[in-house]
Structure 1
Amino acid sequence: MSDTASPSAANTAVVAAAIDLFSEQGFDQTSVEQIARAAGVSRSTFFRQFGGKDDVIFADHELLLAELRDYLAQSHDDPWAAVCEASIRVYSHFAADPELARRRYAVVRGVPTLRDREIVTVFRYERLFDEYLRSALPGLDPLDAVGFAALVTAVHNHVLRQLLRGPKKVPVAVLRRALDDAMRRFGVLPDSEERDAAPDDVVVATFPRRMPLAEVARRLRDQLDT
């Protein structure tokens, strides 16, 4: 691969080469020069794209966070489901190459500074979800926003760890079911029953007591607007 390869292809190759070297000879024992040579890029290209060898471990997360910001900036009928879909997008990325994800996980677990950075990275996802819910649902209680963001992040990480710690594949459907249960527990699972109502019908709605008031208002507003 040359330095003129597409950024995404170059990033993927460099990340894979770095993780392979970290797994084989240790993080501290691996130099930037070795990574660049193994990936077929120059040392200057590596530093321009990643900044340092610790950054290469989390390069995928930087791309994913940017993609999720763009995704959540779009219009979504159901903000709660949008957050869950964002979580599924992240999981699907790592589940697409579970062996690479497992090698990365082993490297991070063995280096204290990388473990600390992983904690910060997880919080960045949680904060992104929290801020999105507050902006998408005006009047939402901040405790509901941070609570749901933390719940989705925790559920995602639990399922992801099942994938990373075991030899078997853990399909996306496992996470989807877990997130549906999280929405159910939070009282925001979309109503799957279809109702045929005439324009002048009077609708009497009931909502779970645990449903955030901002979500109740959103659903009522949507019904009145139709």
Structure 2
Amino acid sequence: MPSAPPTTDDPADFRVHVVAESIRLFAEQGYEATTVEQVAAAAGISRRTFFRQFGAKEDVIFADHESLLTQVSAHLAAGDADPYAAVCSAAEVVFLHFRDSREMAVRRLRVVQGVPALRDRELVTTYRYQRVFEDFLRTRLPEESPARLIGYAAAVTSAHNFLLRAMIRGDEDATLERLRAELGHLRGAFTRPEAPLGDDLSVAVAVITQPVGSSPDEVGRLVAEQLRAAQQHRGQ
């Protein structure tokens, strides 16, 4: 049954409405069997309006991503002072969008999985989020290694997409809190300063040489002496 048109003039709400109707028809009738005329009629718009706003069937099924990408860019621009944290919170925006419209996301996943061209289109759409993250980080952190920033953007995107798909499939552990925790681990791994080799005196390493055939007691005594010496050095 067609859903009611949006009660506001918000273009984002309008796009989500049309996307939802198109996905509903694709899921019920099959992607190839559903015509543009049927989608337009279900959404309550003319065929001409459909083509002007969305272009084609393969465009409309992902059209809500356009508004979401704009929202993500705005979130990054006005977000956390820490660029790494801002990317994580922007990923949460995407997760919440699909969590709150999970029924549509489930239908879209089923439709996309059955059409190779749509699977390819989905990969391109996914990469667009990663590219937004990359561009933001490179603008905010111009002196940081581009490879490091791209790696971070890719890691955040991959972790987000894994949990997003799990949530859509009904995994009860795929929650916003789980996403936040996983992204927090990633941020820590990428932003934790690396101490120069030998500067960390909290770990003592004893290296000894001893003739073959030495008794375990003798080896143990030498190791203990080395550890005591390291502890005394640490206390100076």
TM-score range, shorter chain: 0.7 to 0.9
Q: Which of 168, 172, 175 in structure 1 is aligned with 2:179? A: 175
| TM-score (normalizing by structure 2) | 0.75
Contact kept in structure 2, 1:98 and 1:169, CA below 8 Å: no
* Counterpart residue number, 2:74: 70
* Counterpart residue number, 1:204: none
* Counterpart residue number, 1:201: none
* Counterpart residue number, 1:184: 188
Q: Output aligned runs, 1:28-43, within 5 Å.
A: 28-43=32-47
* Counterpart residue number, 1:119: 123
SS of residue matched to 1:138 = coil
| Structure showing greater Rg | 2
SS of residue matched to 1:113 = helix
SS of residue matched to 2:150 = helix
Contact kept in structure 2, 1:21 and 1:30, CA below 8 Å: yes
Matched, 1:159 2:163: yes
Identify if the C-alpha distance between structure 1 residues 154 and 4 changes in structure 2 by more than 3 Å, giving closer, same or farther.
closer
Identify if the C-alpha distance between structure 1 residues 134 and 48 changes in structure 2 by more than 3 Å, giving closer, same or farther.
same
* Counterpart residue number, 2:86: 82
The alignment's C-alpha RMSD in Å is 2.1
Residue identity opposite 2:87 in structure 1: V
Identify if the C-alpha distance between structure 1 residues 5 and 46 changes in structure 2 by more than 3 Å, giving closer, same or farther.
farther
C-alpha displacement of 1:168 = 4.5
* Counterpart residue number, 2:17: 13
C-alpha displacement of 1:209 = 4.3
Q: Which of 91, 100, 105 in structure 1 is aligned with 2:104? A: 100
Segments of 5+ residues of structure 2 without an aligned counterpart are 197-236
* Alpha-carbon distance in 1 for matches of 2:167, 2:6: 33
Contact kept in structure 1, 2:25 and 2:34, CA below 8 Å: yes
Identify if the C-alpha distance between structure 1 residues 36 and 209 changes in structure 2 by more than 3 Å, giving closer, same or farther.
farther
C-alpha displacement of 1:57 = 1.0
Contact kept in structure 1, 2:137 and 2:149, CA below 8 Å: yes
SS of residue matched to 1:9 = helix
Segments of 5+ residues of structure 1 without an aligned counterpart are 189-206, 211-226
Identify if the C-alpha distance between structure 1 residues 180 and 5 changes in structure 2 by more than 3 Å, giving closer, same or farther.
closer
* Alpha-carbon distance in 2 for matches of 1:2, 1:50: 17
Matched, 1:138 2:142: yes
Contact kept in structure 2, 1:91 and 1:160, CA below 8 Å: yes
| TM-score (normalizing by structure 1) | 0.78
C-alpha displacement of 1:18 = 0.6
* Counterpart residue number, 1:55: 59
Residue identity opposite 1:66 in structure 2: T
Identify if the C-alpha distance between structure 1 residues 97 and 125 changes in structure 2 by more than 3 Å, giving closer, same or farther.
same
* Alpha-carbon distance in 2 for matches of 1:52, 1:167: 33
